[in-house]
Amino acid sequence: MTTTRDRWSEALTPATLPRQARDSWRFTDLAPLKALDPGRLAPRPGVIPDLPPPAPGVVRLCLGPDGVSFSPAPADISWPAGVQVCAVPPDVADAPALAVRLGALLPGPSLGLQLAPGARLRLELVLQPAQAEAALAPRLWFDLAEDASLELALGLWGPADSLLVACVGARLAAGAELLEGQRLQGADSAVALVSGQVQQAPGSRYGRTAVVSGWRLARLEPQVCQTEGQAVTTFRDLALARGQATIDLHSQVRFGGPEGRLDQLQRALVDDGAQSVFNGVVQVPREAQRTDAAQLSRHLLLSTRGRVDTIPQLEIVADDVRCTHGATVSSLSDDELFYLQSRGVDRVLACRLLTRGFCRPIFDDLPPLIAAWPSEGLLP
């Protein structure tokens, strides 16, 4: 029988790994992934998260003691009216090839939910393995019917020398709304590959806000398709890259019809020898007339050893659109530091205030569920 190590080695051969000659991978070094020992990776029991009790009406699921299921079991939950558990369709994993190959080698947990027309659900998913060298591959699927609403708080923690491969898929019918908050925190030797696929029907709304901190390598690949346009998509991302971390956001939004909207803001704080990568792709074919898409990437570089690679991309064929993009890389302003110091604020505190102010717009846009989680230690 082929062992996990053999299958892992096959998945990570030079012939199957993404080549850095490809635009979407040319700035992402996969050495931290290849350095993990597949023979030591295994499901680890989940720990009870140090979080406030869930608010009334909120469903919270955590990583179970077997490390491959949710606790409590989704089948044992008294779900709100119109919400039922379903199977995760196989094509949810039809995402970036590397995540698919590695996800097939790793255990769950898995959760699929269907929301009937007008149904409402507030859901917290907290996946935190208790031990190092954990292997975790959650597969999540949400099918929202007309005018259904889901607020999702997704917390993913990666202990030392662990691998997390997560896939989140959703289908939004007309008038449906999905508000998703993600917090990804990992040790400085952990690796995370997180992909998302969302299909939006006209009149639907999808908002995603993610805060990523730690990790040796974290790559996020949210993909959205507005199948017929006339939908609203909002992205908010904050990368807190320190040490030798590489945090890579590779997003893609495609408009399949007219009058779609996108509002995207990515911010990254880069310190020490860390690296931040942003590659945002917006596709506007000829049928997507009157699209309104705005994309902005901002980086604050705190070290001369840090690195920033930012590649905003607009692929526009339609001729009646309003599409903008921008990218900035800056350091702390001497004028702003002088202003604070001249009013009695010492330089260390002044730097801290300015970096926190840089990050604040993303924290202010966190959905209510995940905004209520403690954030000590995230910001400088």
Angle of helix 347-364 relative to helix 334-341, nearest 10 degrees, comes to 120
Kindly report whether the global pTM for this prediction surpasses the value 0.75: yes
Residue 117 is predicted with a pLDDT of 97
Residue 326 is predicted with a pLDDT of 86
* Contact present, 276 and 241 (Cβ < 8 Å): yes
Residue 1 is predicted with a pLDDT of 32
* Contact present, 65 and 46 (Cβ < 8 Å): yes
Residue 264 is predicted with a pLDDT of 94
Residue 21 is predicted with a pLDDT of 65
- Cis peptide preceding 109, ω within 30 of 0: yes
Q: Give the DSSP letter of residue 74.
A: G
The tens-digit pLDDT sequence of the chain (380 residues) is 344 556 666 666 665 677 766 777 778 888 888 888 888 888 899 988 888 888 899 999 999 999 899 999 888 899 999 999 998 887 654 556 677 677 777 778 999 999 999 999 999 999 999 999 898 999 999 999 999 999 999 999 999 999 999 989 999 999 999 999 999 999 999 999 998 999 999 999 999 999 999 999 999 999 999 999 899 999 999 999 999 999 999 999 999 999 999 999 999 999 889 999 999 899 999 999 999 999 999 999 888 898 988 888 888 888 888 888 888 888 888 888 888 888 888 888 888 888 888 888 898 889 999 988 887 777 77
Q: In what order do the strands lie in the sheet with 70-71?
A: 70-71, 58-63, 120-127, 149-158, 177-186, 205-214, 232-241, 261-270, 292-301, 322-330
- Alpha-carbon gap, residue 361 to 298, rounded angstroms: 12
Instruction: Tell me whether residue 259 is exposed, middle or buried, using C-beta atoms within 10 angstroms of its C-beta: 0 to 12, 13 to 18, 19 or more.
Output: middle
Q: Give the DSSP letter of residue 92.
A: G
